[in-house]
Amino acid sequence: MTNSSATSGLRFGWLSPVIGNRWSDHQPIVVFQEKNILPTALPHFDSLWIADHFYGMDTHTDPFMEAWTTLTWLAAKFPDVMLCHHVLGQGYRNPALTAKMAATLQVLSGNRFILGIGAGWREEEYRAYGYAFPRPAVRFQELEELVHICRLMWTQEAPSFTGRHYSIQRAAAPPLPEVVPPVCIGAFGEQIGLPLAGRIADIWNSPIFGSDEKWLRKRDIVFAAAVKAGRETSAVEVSLTVEHALPNTGAESQQLFDELSHLAELGVQHFVMDFGHPQNTEPVLRFVEEVMAPLRRG
């Protein structure tokens, strides 16, 4: 396989679905993967990602494991991988509580936690659980204040803050983490979300956008906002979520290699791979050997 120097230093994340549906016999996929897939897969991956919702997308009765509990469970099971939510809905938890939970998991995991968070989007879920669902501009203002509160509570003994939406008063969160968790913001809106990621995120995560031109435009909005805020563009790691079946043949490996290599050329640094519900580890190892390894060597 042909390689490019632009692909060197790539990172790979594994997204483990917490949903159970008709394709998984209504067993949460993450439960199956914890036993049968992740022990083989995760030694080759840099990060493990878990979505944050409360019930299924097809029907409310489909199991959907709670995100913090599940990621903490996996943190204990797999001690050598970074941990991130994909991504938390900021309105689901009080900012100070989010900061405290993050600090605790950072300490218990040995500094492996990334705070993955976004403004939230699933209105029916917010309403079902009794949460307010303000317009996008307000939700992103709240998100920015939440990140500010988290960073204060991770670095100061008893910080206070008063914003437009949130406030804390001497909100201690001991023990403070030795390493401040990186913040990954999931966003793709060009007017508010992407500029916010450029201003304050350590990592920006998004889905694939249709064309190269559309992707580059959105990436450049993030970078321009970073520069305007006095940051280097390199301060924001570019992360992309890729939903794709695992390869079962050499030809499929080559095709996936070509796709990811092209995305790396466009600036992606951290691929978050959603492989759905693989039944065994053979295609996982094929991906590792025929796609991931040569991309890392690029």
CA 42-48-51 angle, to 5 degrees, is: 140
- Reference 50, options 73, 70, 78, 22; nearest CA is 70
Count CB neighbours of 162 within 10 A. Answer: 9
Secondary element (H or E) of residue 75: helix 67-77
CA–CA dist 47, 272 (Å, integer): 8
CA distances (Å), origin 273, targets 93, 193, 194: 26, 22, 21
pTM, to two decimals = 0.95
Give the model confidence (pLDDT) of 42-61 as tens digits. 999 999 999 999 998 888 88
15 strand-pairing partners:
49
Give the model confidence (pLDDT) of 102-150 as tens digits. 999 999 999 999 999 999 999 999 999 999 999 999 999 999 999 999 9
Higher-confidence residue of 56 and 246: namely 246
Give the model confidence (pLDDT) of 151-176 as tens digits. 999 999 999 999 999 999 999 999 99
- Reference 103, options 151, 148, 145; nearest CA is 151
Phi, psi of 186 (to 5 degrees): -90, 120
CA–CA dist 142, 118 (Å, integer): 10
CA–CA dist 93, 131 (Å, integer): 10
Give the domains, in start order, of the chain with CATH numbers. 5-296 (3.20.20.30)
Does position 8 have pLDDT exceeding 80, yes or no? no
Burial pattern 232-255, b for ≥16 Cβ within 10 A else e, equals ebeebbbbbbbebebbeeeebbee
Distance of CA 274 to the CA centre of its chain: 11
Q: What pLDDT is stored for residue 165 in this prediction?
A: 98
Give the model confidence (pLDDT) of 78-110 as tens digits. 999 999 999 999 999 999 999 999 999 999 999
